[in-house]
């Protein structure tokens, strides 16, 4: 691990603690709620918790925070485990579930009631909200706040046994309705929910809130550092209050907060991703335009690139919006070293080399990587008809100030070609281009005028049709999390496809191999349609940094 993970403020806290108590255990946990798929923000939390545990020989638990059966689901558990493994992390022993502590948490609730620190409130949710007050106005005590302990115990038991409807009653901590902190104004600890829980089935109809369950689960698992994002800063007071009053006094877990990950032009919130799916903007959680881990994986991101990204952004208490180019530079850097180079044409224009013998079988031996010899060579069959990029035709041929007969281009790894005619249809669309090759120009030193005329190509004989899928940013605004309605800022051009050709040497590669198409970018080979004989690729990232602007 590099200095960044070693030098963040949490690390400094641990170092200090270890100076005082060298035997202190460093136990962390990653506590996802199984109500959606993991995203890049979760990767940040995973990176932090698992790497701290590893560094200090501690443990990191995976605990599913499953206290709300209304939104939680086994399919999310499966996907969360898959994503964590994919990132390369192993959790301590088996995975834990808050639901496995429901019985204990219930006993702890009774303990608070017995200490006269919790009561069953019969106000409904609207009244509770009204009585809570605001930042400016103090709260008002519920008329049920001073019920006897006996009554509270009996009502709580009845709540558990299904005597009441949802929302009719709830258990609240008795803290202080006049506190400056809204969260300390008698927060709800238990609510009634009639919904089958995927683990506990119909056993419970009351469920602890996040605030009540989380600190108790941390304490039961001997977590020493309970790391969460900054919006839980105020919850920390409640976290401490609960543990103190439940007598978890010896080495209680301590909560520390760090800033949440935000990325420009992206949303991470699971609730908002669900809106996009519901409104059919995207089909699934693994859409490559999302920053879910399954979406990034589908696009072609590697675990290494994501871990490097988490390391680069670091851990602070400052909220900020990270630039997309940082994420892109991480995958570019990873793939640059590891993937084979190939040639592909995204928008083909045919170039016919009229002086090239039709039946000549000339095979070019081309390196798979410019610097890594171990990646070997492939053979490309040159031919009279080749495909070049429409954009190159525009920029390097049509835009040239020279007479058409003076225009030369250099085919990468192959010949210098002299262009002499552009054949167009009656609507001025280019049909094809005619050129003549100059013999003995392979591997020869180029004069300066040709240096910026080197273009990639594929030969007709040596290529196979391909579909290229492009995924752009999903939103038109830099900070979509701030928007009232994300549906108003959807980029209409976030997905498109191109049809072109790739070298057929790619047929020898396995599906899910990443490749660099020279001059174009990194692509993931995702499928081969054998029946129709074409390959499918996802664009992962361009070769150079893109400038992001709001203009399209
Ligand atoms: P969302 O807002 O996407 O629903 P969440 O915080 O509700 O996220 P959880 O499943 O409760 O999702 O999160 C599990 C852990 O991941 C928590 O410790 C949480 O703080 C952390 N986490 C979630 N989102 C981010 C983020 N954007 N940046 C850093 N950590 C995050
Ligand atoms: Mg949550």
The full DSSP string for 397-410 is IIT-SS-GGG-EEE
For the segment 228-267, what is each residue's pLDDT rounded down to a tens digit?
Answer: 999 999 999 999 999 999 999 888 999 999 999 999 999 9
Please state the atom number of ligand 1 nearest to the C-alpha of residue 269. Answer: 3
Confidence of residue 469 (pLDDT cuts 50, 70, 90): very high
Q: Is residue 250 in a domain?
A: no
- 467 and 440 part of one domain: no
Q: Is the CB of 261 under 6 A from ligand 1?
A: yes
- 390 and 437 part of one domain: yes
Q: Which domain covers residue 19, as residue numbers?
A: 3-94+259-328
Confidence of residue 489 (pLDDT cuts 50, 70, 90): very high
Q: Is residue 241 in a domain?
A: no
Residue in 229, 259, 277 to alter for ligand 1 test, most ligand atoms within 8 A of Cβ: 229
Higher pLDDT, 10 or 83: 83
Q: Is the CB of 268 under 6 A from ligand 1?
A: yes
Which pLDDT belongs to residue 444?
A: 86
Looking at the predicted structure, is the pLDDT value of residue 1 above 70? no
For the segment 6-63, what is each residue's pLDDT rounded down to a tens digit?
Answer: 678 998 999 999 999 999 999 999 999 999 999 999 999 999 999 999 999 999 999 9
- 450 and 386 part of one domain: yes
**Which burial class, exposed, middle or buried, applies to 31 when counting CB atoms under 10 A from its CB (0-12, 13-18, 19+)?**
buried
Q: Whose CA is nearest to atom 13 of ligand 1?
A: 32
Q: Is the CB of 33 under 6 A from ligand 1?
A: yes
For the segment 324-380, what is each residue's pLDDT rounded down to a tens digit?
Answer: 999 999 999 999 999 999 999 999 999 999 999 988 989 999 999 999 999 999 999
- 440 and 531 part of one domain: no
Q: What number is the average pLDDT over the span 450-463? A: 93
Confidence of residue 550 (pLDDT cuts 50, 70, 90): very low
Q: Is residue 358 in a domain?
A: yes
Q: What proportions of the chain, in percent to the nearest 5, are helix, strand and coil? A: 35, 25, 40
Looking at the predicted structure, is the pLDDT value of residue 448 above 80? yes
Q: How far is CA 238 from its chain centroid?
A: 31
Looking at the predicted structure, is the pLDDT value of residue 521 above 60? yes
Looking at the predicted structure, is the pLDDT value of residue 282 above 60? yes
Q: Is residue 228 in a domain?
A: no
- 272 and 365 part of one domain: no
Least-confidence region, from 77-81, 235-239, 392-396: 392-396
Please state the atom number of ligand 1 nearest to the C-alpha of residue 46. Answer: 16
Q: Is residue 517 in a domain?
A: yes
CA distance 242 to 236: 10
DSSP state of 126: H
Q: Is the CB of 42 under 6 A from ligand 1?
A: yes
Q: Is residue 145 in a domain?
A: yes
Q: Transcribe 358-403 into DSSP letters.
A: TT---EEEEESSSS-GGG-EEEEE--SEEEEEHHHIIIIIIT-SS-
- Of 443, 449, 466, 478, nearest in space to 517 by CA: 466
Q: Whose CA is nearest to atom 15 of ligand 1?
A: 32
Q: Is residue 524 in a domain?
A: yes
Q: What percent of the chain has pLDDT over 90?
A: 89
* 368 in Cβ contact with 339 (< 8 Å): no
CA distance 113 to 63: 27
Looking at the predicted structure, is the pLDDT value of residue 541 above 60? yes
Looking at the predicted structure, is the pLDDT value of residue 3 above 80? no
Q: Whose CA is nearest to atom 3 of ligand 1?
A: 269
- 493 and 414 part of one domain: no
For the segment 257-280, what is each residue's pLDDT rounded down to a tens digit?
Answer: 999 999 999 999 999 999 999 999
- 302 and 266 part of one domain: yes
Q: What number is the average pLDDT over the span 193-203? A: 97
Q: Transcribe 196-247 into DSSP letters.
A: -BTTTBTS-SEEE-HHHHHHHHHHHTT-SEEEEEGGGTTHHHHHHHHHHHTT
Confidence of residue 524 (pLDDT cuts 50, 70, 90): very high
Looking at the predicted structure, is the pLDDT value of residue 487 above 60? yes
Q: Measuring CA to CA, how many Å separate 194 from each of 101, 171, 246, 333?
A: 19, 16, 28, 50
Pairing of strands 495-503, 463-471: antiparallel
Q: Whose CA is nearest to atom 1 of ligand 1?
A: 269
- The catalytic residues are 33, 260, 270
Please state the atom number of ligand 1 nearest to the C-alpha of residue 268. Answer: 3
For the segment 143-180, what is each residue's pLDDT rounded down to a tens digit?
Answer: 999 999 999 999 999 999 999 999 999 999 999 999 99
- End of a domain among 187, 209, 231? 209
Q: What percent of the chain has pLDDT over 70?
A: 97
- End of a domain among 209, 243, 269? 209
Please state the atom number of ligand 1 nearest to the C-alpha of residue 229. Answer: 20
Q: Is the CB of 31 under 6 A from ligand 1?
A: yes
C-alpha torsion angle, residues 539, 543, 547, 551 (rounded to 10): -40
- 349 and 456 part of one domain: yes
Looking at the predicted structure, is the pLDDT value of residue 552 above 50? no
- 130 and 188 part of one domain: yes
Q: What is the distance in A from the centroid of ligand 2 to the CA of 534? A: 43
Q: Is the CB of 40 under 6 A from ligand 1?
A: no
Q: What number is the average pLDDT over the span 425-447? A: 92
Residue in 28, 35, 42, 291 to alter for ligand 1 test, most ligand atoms within 8 A of Cβ: 42
Q: What is the distance in A from the centroid of ligand 1 to the CA of 447? A: 57
CA distance 438 to 460: 19
pTM: 0.94
Looking at the predicted structure, is the pLDDT value of residue 215 above 80? yes
Q: Tell me the torsion sign for CA atoms 292, 295, 296, 297.
A: positive
Looking at the predicted structure, is the pLDDT value of residue 514 above 80? yes
Which pLDDT belongs to residue 416?
A: 96
Q: Is the CB of 77 under 6 A from ligand 1?
A: no
Which pLDDT belongs to residue 6?
A: 60
- 52 and 108 part of one domain: no
- 350 and 439 part of one domain: yes
Looking at the predicted structure, is the pLDDT value of residue 551 above 50? no
CA distance 269 to 266: 10
- Of 188, 166, 179, nearest in space to 121 by CA: 188
Which pLDDT belongs to residue 361?
A: 87
- Domain count within the chain: 4
Residues for the chain: how many in total? Answer: 552
Helix/strand/coil for 256: strand
Please state the atom number of ligand 1 nearest to the C-alpha of residue 210. Answer: 11
Q: Whose CA is nearest to atom 18 of ligand 1?
A: 228
- CATH number of the domain that residue 483 is part of: 2.40.240.10
- End of a domain among 295, 328, 361? 328
* 527 in Cβ contact with 465 (< 8 Å): no
Helix/strand/coil for 143: coil
Which pLDDT belongs to residue 422?
A: 93
Which pLDDT belongs to residue 65?
A: 97
Q: Which residue has the tokens 């059919």?
A: 280
- Of 430, 454, 434, 433, nearest in space to 444 by CA: 454
Which pLDDT belongs to residue 458?
A: 98
**Which burial class, exposed, middle or buried, applies to 347 when counting CB atoms under 10 A from its CB (0-12, 13-18, 19+)?**
middle
Q: Is residue 251 in a domain?
A: no
Q: Is the CB of 34 under 6 A from ligand 1?
A: no
- 452 and 470 part of one domain: no
Which pLDDT belongs to residue 546?
A: 57
Q: What is the distance in A from the centroid of ligand 2 to the CA of 33? A: 6
Q: Is the CB of 481 under 6 A from ligand 1?
A: no
- Of 175, 247, 170, 192, nearest in space to 215 by CA: 247
CA distance 153 to 124: 19
- CATH number of the domain that residue 135 is part of: 3.90.800.10
């Amino acid at each position: 691990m590099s200095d960044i993970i070693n030098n963040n403020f949490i690390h400094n806290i641990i170092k200090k603690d270890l100076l005082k108590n060298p035997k202190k255990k460093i136990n962390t946990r990653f506590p996802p709620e199984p109500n959606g798929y993991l995203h890049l923000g979760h990767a940040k939390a995973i990176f932090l918790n698992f790497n701290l545990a590893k560094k200090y020989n501690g443990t990191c638990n995976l605990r599913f925070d499953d206290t709300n059966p209304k939104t939680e689901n086994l399919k999310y558990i499966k996907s969360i485990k898959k994503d964590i493994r994919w990132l390369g992390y192993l959790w301590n022993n088996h995975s834990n579930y808050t639901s496995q502590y429901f019985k204990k948490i219930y006993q702890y609730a009774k303990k608070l009631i017995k200490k006269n620190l919790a009561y069953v409130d019969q106000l409904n949710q609207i009244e509770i909200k009204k009585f809570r007050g605001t930042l400016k106005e103090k709260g008002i005590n519920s008329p049920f706040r001073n019920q006897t302990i006996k009554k509270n115990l009996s009502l709580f038991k009845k709540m558990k046994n299904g005597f009441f409807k949802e929302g009719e009653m709830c258990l609240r901590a008795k803290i202080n309705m006049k506190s400056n902190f809204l969260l300390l104004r008698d927060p709800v600890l238990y609510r009634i929910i009639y919904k089958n829980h995927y683990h506990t089935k119909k056993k419970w109809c009351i469920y602890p809130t996040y605030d009540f369950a989380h600190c108790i689960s941390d304490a039961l698992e001997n977590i020493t550092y309970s790391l969460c994002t900054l919006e839980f800063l105020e919850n920390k007071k409640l976290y401490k209050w609960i543990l103190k009053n439940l007598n978890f006094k010896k080495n209680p877990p301590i909560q520390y907060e760090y800033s949440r990950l935000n990325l420009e032009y992206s949303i991470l919130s699971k609730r908002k991703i669900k809106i996009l799916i519901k409104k059919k903007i995207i089909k699934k959680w693994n859409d490559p335009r999302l920053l879910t881990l399954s979406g990034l994986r589908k696009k072609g991101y590697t675990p290494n690139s994501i871990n490097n990204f988490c390391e680069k952004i670091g851990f602070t208490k400052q909220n900020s919006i990270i630039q997309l180019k940082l994420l892109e530079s991480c995958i570019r850097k990873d793939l640059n070293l590891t993937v084979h180079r190939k040639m592909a044409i995204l928008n083909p224009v045919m170039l016919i080399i009229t002086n090239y013998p039709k039946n000549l079988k000339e095979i070019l031996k081309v390196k798979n990587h410019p610097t890594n010899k171990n990646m070997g060579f492939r053979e490309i069959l040159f031919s009279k008809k080749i495909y070049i990029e429409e954009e190159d035709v525009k920029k390097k041929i049509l835009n040239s100030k020279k007479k058409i007969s003076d225009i030369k281009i250099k085919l990468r790894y192959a010949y210098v070609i002299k262009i002499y005619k552009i054949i167009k249809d009656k609507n001025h669309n280019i049909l094809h281009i005619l050129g003549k090759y100059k013999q003995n120009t392979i591997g020869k030193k180029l004069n300066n005028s040709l240096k910026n005329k080197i273009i990639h190509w594929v030969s007709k004989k040596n290529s196979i049709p391909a579909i290229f899928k492009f995924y752009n940013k999903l939103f038109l605004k830099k900070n979509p999390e701030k928007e009232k309605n994300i549906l108003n800022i959807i980029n209409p051009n976030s997905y498109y496809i191109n049809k072109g050709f790739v070298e057929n040497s790619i047929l020898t590669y396995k599906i899910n191999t990443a490749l660099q198409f020279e001059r174009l970018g990194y692509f993931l080979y995702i499928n081969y349609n054998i029946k129709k004989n074409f390959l499918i690729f996802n664009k992962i990232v361009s070769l150079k940094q893109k400038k992001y602007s709001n203009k399209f």
